[in-house]
C-alpha cells in the first residue's frame, strides 16, 4: 500500500491533500503563497497538530520565497507570516513550535535566497523527523496494547494528521503490524467528523477493521467492558500534563476513569508546552457555528439557533494514565517526566 501523505512539497509549492473532500474525493491542492496556507489551515483542508506544524513550516518557506524588496525587511515579512500562521488555529502548539524553529534560522543569515534555502531545508527536516517520531511513538505505545484486546480512539490522529504514520492511530497501527489481535473502535467525532470521514478512511486503507460509534455512545460502550484502553492524540500538553485535544476527549477520559479503563495520550514532544503550568492557560479555538447548524451544506436548525462551538477541551492530568512520546512512556506525576522528555528529544 502506498503511504498516505497529507502534505507534500514539489516545484516550490506546498501540496495538501484536501481533507474537507475526504473520503469521497482524493484531491491535492497547490499552495504558492503563505496566505493560502493560512486559509487552508483555517478551513481545515489540513488539520491535526503535527500536520499543522509542518504546514506552517512550509508556509514560512513560501513567505521567504515570495519576498520582494518593495515589501521591506524580510524579517518583518516573516514575523507577520509567523503571526498569521500561529493565529490560524491557536490551540495546536505545534504551529508555534515549528514557526519558532524557522524564525531562529533567519537571524543567522541576511541574504534572502539563503534564507529561503535554509528554511526549506529545515521544513524538510521537520517533515522527515515527524515521521520518525511517530514511528517511535507507535513502538512505545504498542507495548501498552495487549494481544486480544480492544481499543477506542477519537478524532483522527493518523497519517492525515501528521507528516505520516500517525500518533495515537500510529500506536494502533504498530500493534496491528505486530500481529496483535486487536479490536478497534473509533468515534465519529462531531461536528467535523474527523473520525467518520478520516479515521475510517485511513483504517480501511490499512485493512484494519474498526467499529464506529457516535460520540455520545462512549458512555455505554465503556461501561459494557468491551474496551480495554482508550488512546487519543493531543493539541497541547501543559507542564502538569493537562491536555487539550478534540472536543469530547475530556468526556471520554472522565468516563474511562469512572469505568477504570486506562486512558492514554500519544503525542510528539513538540506538543508539550512547558511555558504554561496547567490546562487553564491553553487557548481554546472556537469554530464557526455553521459546522454545527449545517450538514454537508444543508441547514439543520432554525435560523434563530445560537451555537457555541469549541473545537477542543482540556482533559485534566489526573484522568490520564500515561503520555506516550517519541522518548518513551511518561507516567504520573507528569511535571518532571514531561520536562525530561523535552530535554531528551534534542529538539
Q: Among residues 228 and 291, whose Cβ is nearest to ligand MRU? A: 291
Q: Among residues 49 and 74, whose Cβ is nearest to ligand MRU? A: 49
Task: Quote the least distance from Cβ 211 to ligand MRU, whole Å.
Answer: 19
C-alpha grid cell for residue 132? 520518525
The DSSP secondary-structure symbol of 224 reads T
Query: Does residue 136 contact residue 326 with C-beta atoms inside 8 Å?
Result: yes
Q: Among residues 75 and 205, whose Cβ is nearest to ligand MRU? A: 205
Residue 235 falls in the annotated catalytic set: yes
Q: Which of 235, 242, 273, 313 is catalytic?
A: 235
Task: Quote the least distance from Cβ 153 to ligand MRU, whole Å.
Answer: 9
C-alpha grid cell for residue 99? 514557526
Per DSSP, the three-state class of 303 is: coil
Task: Quote the least distance from Cβ 94 to ligand MRU, whole Å.
Answer: 8
Task: Quote the least distance from Cβ 30 to ligand MRU, whole Å.
Answer: 21
Q: Where are the alpha helices (DSSP H) in the chain?
A: 34-42, 49-65, 74-88, 93-106, 112-142, 168-177, 200-205, 218-223, 249-258, 290-293, 334-344
- Whose CB is nearest to ligand MRU? 233
Q: Among residues 47 and 101, whose Cβ is nearest to ligand MRU? A: 47
Which positions ≥6 away from 147 have C-beta within 8 Å? Answer: 180, 181, 182
Helix 74-88, helix 93-106: angle, nearest 10: 170
The backbone region for 80, taken as left when phi is positive above 0, alpha when psi lies in -120 to 50, beta otherwise, is alpha
> DSSP states of 47-84 as a string?
-SHHHHHHHHHHHHHHHHHT--GGG--HHHHHHHHHHH
Using CB under 6 A as the criterion, which residues of the chain lie in contact with ligand MRU when the complex forms?
47-50, 92, 155, 157, 161-162, 167, 194, 232-235, 245-246, 311
Task: Quote the least distance from Cβ 235 to ligand MRU, whole Å.
Answer: 5
Q: Among residues 154 and 317, whose Cβ is nearest to ligand MRU? A: 154
Element (H, E) at 208: none
Query: Does residue 142 contact residue 174 with C-beta atoms inside 8 Å?
Result: yes
Task: Quote the least distance from Cβ 204 to ligand MRU, whole Å.
Answer: 19
Q: Where are the alpha helices (DSSP H) in 206-333?
A: 218-223, 249-258, 290-293
Q: Among residues 206 and 234, whose Cβ is nearest to ligand MRU? A: 234
Residues belonging to the active site = 235
Amino acid at each position: 500500500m502506498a503511504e498516505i501523505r497529507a502534505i507534500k512539497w514539489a516545484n516550490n509549492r506546498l501540496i495538501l491533500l484536501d481533507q474537507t473532500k475526504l473520503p469521497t474525493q482524493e484531491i491535492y491542492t497547490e499552495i504558492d503563497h503563505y496566505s493560502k496556507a493560512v486559509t487552508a489551515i483555517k478551513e481545515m483542508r489540513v488539520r491535526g497538530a503535527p500536520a499543522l506544524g509542518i504546514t506552517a513550516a512550509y508556509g514560512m518557506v513560501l513567505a521567504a520565497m515570495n519576498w520582494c524588496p518593495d515589501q521591506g525587511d524580510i524579517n518583518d515579512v516573516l514575523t507577520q507570516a509567523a503571526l498569521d500562521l500561529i493565529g490560524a488555529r491557536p490551540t495546536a502548539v505545534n504551529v508555534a513550535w515549528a514557526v519558532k524553529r524557522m524564525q531562529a534560522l533567519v537571524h543567522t543569515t541576511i541574504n534572502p535566497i539563503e534564507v529561503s534555502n535554509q528554511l526549506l531545508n529545515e521544513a524538510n527536516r521537520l517533515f522527515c523527523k515527524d515521521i520518525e517520531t511517530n514511528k517511535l511513538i507507535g513502538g512505545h505505545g504498542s507495548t501498552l496494547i495487549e494481544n486480544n484486546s480492544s481499543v477506542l480512539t477519537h478524532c483522527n490522529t493518523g497519517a492525515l494528521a501528521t507528516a505520516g504514520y500517525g500518533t495515537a492511530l500510529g500506536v494502533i497501527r504498530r500493534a496491528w503490524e505486530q500481529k496483535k489481535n486487536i479490536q478497534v473502535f473509533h468515534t465519529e467525532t462531531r461536528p467535523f467528523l474527523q473520525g467518520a470521514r478520516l479515521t475510517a478512511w485511513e483504517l480501511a486503507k490499512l485493512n484494519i477493521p474498526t467499529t464506529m460509534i457516535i460520540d455520545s455512545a462512549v458512555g455505554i460502550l465503556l461501561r459494557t467492558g468491551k474496551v480495554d484502553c482508550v488512546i487519543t492524540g493531543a493539541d497541547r500538553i501543559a507542564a502538569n500534563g493537562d491536555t487539550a485535544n478534540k472536543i469530547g476527549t475530556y468526556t471520554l477520559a472522565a468516563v474511562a476513569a469512572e469505568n477504570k479503563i486506562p486512558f492514554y495520550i500519544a503525542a510528539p514532544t513538540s506538543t508539550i508546552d512547558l511555558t504554561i503550568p496547567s490546562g487553564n492557560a491553553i487557548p481554546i479555538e472556537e469554530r464557526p457555528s455553521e459546522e454545527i447548524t449545517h450538514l454537508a451544506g444543508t441547514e439543520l436548525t432554525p435560523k434563530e439557533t445560537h451555537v457555541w462551538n469549541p473545537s477542543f477541551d482540556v482533559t485534566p492530568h489526573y484522568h490520564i494514565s500515561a503520555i506516550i512520546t517519541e522518548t518513551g512512556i511518561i507516567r504520573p506525576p507528569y511535571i518532571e517526566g514531561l520536562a525530561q522528555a523535552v530535554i531528551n528529544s534534542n529538539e
